[in-house]
Amino acid sequence: MKEKLSKLIDLKTIVTLLLTLVFCILVIFKIEIPEFFIEIYRLLIVFYFGTQCQKLSDKINKEE
């Protein structure tokens, strides 16, 4: 459990969660979202989930 928590709290996770929080606040309060923020957020989400998929794929391949 501690290992999973320590892996969760790394820089990319913190940045992803913070940007997601900001995005949600902007949407909830119906504030216009700047185009550059949307692009940065999109790239970050793709990178974050891409690395998570790669880690899962590596783990599966290692077990085989």
Per-residue pLDDT tens over the stretch 6-26? 766 777 778 888 999 999 999
pLDDT band for 27, please (50, 70, 90 cuts): very high
Between CA 61 and CA 27 the distance in angstroms is: 39
pLDDT at 1: 65
Q: Which helix (H) or strand (E) holds 10?
A: none
Contact call for residues 47 and 15 (beta carbons, < 8 A): no
Q: Domain total for the chain?
A: 1
Cα separations in angstroms, 5 against 1, 11, 32, 38, 47: 6, 13, 34, 28, 20
- Domain of 22? 2-63
Query: Can you give the pTM of this predicted structure?
Result: 0.67
Between CA 20 and CA 24 the distance in angstroms is: 6
